[in-house]
Amino acid sequence: MTDELVAGEDGEPVDLPRISTGSEGLDDILGGGFDANRMYLYEGRPGSGKTTIALQFLLRGVRDRERVLYITLSETKRELQLVAKRHGWSLAGVDVFELVPPETTLDPERELTVFHPAEVELSETTKLVFKEIERINPTRVVLDSLSELRLLAQSPLRYRRQVLALKHFFSQRNCTVVLLDDLSSSQDDLQLHSIAHGVVMLEQLAIEYGAERRRLRVIKMRGISFRGGFHDFTIEAGGLKIFPRLIAAEHHKTFVGEFTGSGNAELDQLLGGGLERGTNALLIGAAGVGKSSVALTYAIAAAERGEHAVFFAFDEGRGTVEARARTLGLPLEKHMNSGLIRFQQIDPAELSPGEFAANLRQSVEVENARIVVIDSLNGYLNAMPDERFLILQMHELLSYLGQQGVLTILVLAQHGLVGPMDTPLDISYLSDAVLMLRYFELAGTVRRALSVVKKRSGNHEHAIREFRLSGAGISLGPPLKDFSGIFSGNPRFTGTKIPDLDKADGH
């Protein structure tokens, strides 16, 4: 970039407008895109998505009526056209310069020389690149790939000089350049990092089970504030879909922290009036004890008020959840058909945590969901590579949802059915309210108990009540005053006469 292009009338540098990278997600990570007329590096192993995101960069230039050029030393023009076709793109408007290595040509003038072959090949390759750029005069250029230049150079010193020559050549032109490197060298090319204005690394990770995970990281970007860390992405028809890492501090919204009813007066009374907007509640207990039924009750109550709710199911299919709702007499299908409740089944083996966070954001910001149900955290845990990361990301998710005024219902299944319970992970300290559900035995029958063991905001009942599921929905019985040890897994009757809970509850 020449001084005349960046200096204002007073001689001070001018902050040029950003240009889009062609990827909405990467633009978001960079806070607006690339600085124009600079050289950038995309690096990653073969198959990580470099060619695809580079084509997106050029196609954005075509949409902006710019002249763009793809210089390929590794892939053929036919291969590029096939990539574009599978993404539904047309390369019309993209100049493709397929650079054939000199040793493969039949030009007699190139067959005999007194110079070292590598010197001739590198020099002629560079001259051909410069000549084509001067002929087309593009504003966006992709060079694919540096590994070919590295092989031609044969020494790190000559390779660095060649890249510096490229940078110097482009600095004299109004041109933004993206270099691709497949990391074929045995060591990290830190010298190349120092030359480039910005470096983006793309990774493809093979996990022990399920689909591969893809992520990218901005290693450096001179003069640009960007979101650090790894960001998940997928390669779909239409290009790379990047999911910027969620940072809760960037999202604030004014809302009224009013009570959100469950649709069940007894449960709201137990909770001291209900759960407040902008809070989250953890439902914890054994499998089948009724956690999902309570969560469904909240989602349907929101729909009855005309609010939107979203139900993310990691463990059960839609048919199972609909069958449970019919058994409880809950009009789930009606509200799903009306669009007030969106049910999404999640496959933890196929969905990355970043994609789930992006899905959740869309539910809140686009669909205006007021209640979010995650059923269950056990399935969500399976989608995470490490439990530590689950806690960190769950903290960001809950902080974000709270700042958006959303009521979040989290379901966590404990290991075991009766007796002492084991919790796969402890996120109770992140929860604003914790509802414990347990089985207990009475007169040869299995019963359910429910209690609010934690609620940060406001008062709540401290009693343990019997909890029932029936065709009329959920219902709560009187406090179990004559029992002890229900939540410890060793319930004991301490009264003088076994109560008839069915009669006391009206059943």
| Per-residue pLDDT tens over the stretch 487-497 | 776 777 777 66
Between 101 and 147, residue with greater pLDDT = 147
Residue 212: which pLDDT band, with cuts at 50, 70 and 90?
confident
Of 49-63, 225-239, 370-384, 466-480, which range is least confident? Answer: 370-384
Stated pTM of the model: 0.84
Amino acid, single-letter form, for residue 70: Y
Nearest CA among 233, 159, 231, 152 for reference residue 189 = 159
Residue 427: what pLDDT?
A: 79
Residue 498: what pLDDT?
A: 60
Helices (runs of H) and strands (runs of E) counted in the chain: 16, 24
**What whole-number distance in Å separates Cα of residue 397 and Cα of residue 360?**
9
Task: Please say if the pLDDT value at position 97 is more than 50.
Answer: yes
Q: Which two tokens stand for residue 220?
A: 């450096």
Residue 482: what pLDDT?
A: 79
Alpha carbon of residue 399 to chain centroid: 16
Q: Which of 141-155, 242-256, 331-345 ranks highest by mean pLDDT?
A: 331-345
Residue 490: what pLDDT?
A: 72
Residue 504: what pLDDT?
A: 47
Between 101 and 191, residue with greater pLDDT = 191
Task: Please say if the pLDDT value at position 387 is more than 80.
Answer: no
How many other CB atoms are there within 10 angstroms of residue 222's CB atom? Answer: 10
Residue 255: what pLDDT?
A: 84
Residue 11: which pLDDT band, with cuts at 50, 70 and 90?
low
Residue 70: what pLDDT?
A: 97
Q: Mean of the per-residue pLDDT values for the chain?
A: 86
Residue 1: which pLDDT band, with cuts at 50, 70 and 90?
very low
Q: Residue 421: what are its φ and ψ, rounded to 5°? A: -110, 145
Q: Which two tokens stand for residue 346?
A: 């999640």
Which residue is it, tokens 């009329």? 472
Task: Please say if the pLDDT value at position 116 is more than 50.
Answer: no
| Per-residue pLDDT tens over the stretch 248-272 | 988 888 888 899 999 999 999 999 9
Residue 104: what pLDDT?
A: 45
Residue 120: which pLDDT band, with cuts at 50, 70 and 90?
low
Write the secondary structure of 208-230 as one string of H (helix), E (strand) and C (coil): CCCCCEEEEEEEEECCCCCCCCE
**What whole-number distance in Å separates Cα of residue 503 and Cα of residue 507?**
6
Between 16 and 303, residue with greater pLDDT = 303
Residue 503: which pLDDT band, with cuts at 50, 70 and 90?
low
Task: Please say if the pLDDT value at position 223 is more than 60.
Answer: yes
**What whole-number distance in Å separates Cα of residue 194 and Cα of residue 221?**
11
How many other CB atoms are there within 10 angstroms of residue 406's CB atom? Answer: 26
**What whole-number distance in Å separates Cα of residue 138 and Cα of residue 118?**
28
Alpha carbon of residue 94 to chain centroid: 31
Residue 404: what pLDDT?
A: 96
Task: Please say if the pLDDT value at position 41 is more than 50.
Answer: yes
| Per-residue pLDDT tens over the stretch 66-96 | 999 999 988 888 999 999 999 999 999 999 9
Residue 188: which pLDDT band, with cuts at 50, 70 and 90?
low
Residue 122: what pLDDT?
A: 80
Q: Which two tokens stand for residue 30?
A: 């960079």
